[in-house]
Amino acid sequence: MRLCICFTLLSIIVCASADNVFSRATDFVRDAFGGARDMWRAYTDMREANYIGADKYFHARGNYDAAQRGPGGAWAAKVISDAREALQSLSGRGAEDTLADQEANAWGRSGGDPNRYRPAGLPGKY
């Protein structure tokens, strides 16, 4: 009888733990998709604004918005930022610009205010 009770309690604990792991994995994936959406929105806003000197602001803003969603969003922002910079560096863009973009990306992902990179005169819409 004791063995049966112990087995039942252990089963309940294991099932409760598994449900929690599944929930965390689901949250991570949901946050990652939301973070990718945030990065896309920052990119389209940057293209729409077409404002000289604003790219670092949009890098920081996209990473900031994505990271605010949680670990999944921060992960998506890092993967997208790193891939974008790797592709652009292959196209012959300067290493200094890539380094400055990555610094803005990291600043935003770490929770830093993207307005640090906001150029004067950028419309308030952004």
pLDDT at 2: 66
Average pLDDT of the chain, as a whole number: 88
Between residues 74 and 98, the one the model is more confident about? 74
Select 29-117's CATH number: 1.25.40.10, 1.10.3720.10, 3.60.21.10, 1.10.132.110. Answer: 1.10.132.110
Does residue 100 have a pLDDT over 70? yes
Exposure string over 53-62, b if 16+ CB within 10 A, otherwise e:
ebbbbbbbbb
**What pLDDT digit, counting tens, does each position of 2-55 carry?**
654 644 544 454 454 555 767 889 999 999 999 999 999 999 999 999 999 999
Please give the model's pTM, rounded to 2 decimal places. Answer: 0.82
Specify the pLDDT at position 18: 53
Distance of CA 81 to the CA centre of its chain: 9
Residues 88 and 42: their CA atoms lie apart, in Å, by 17
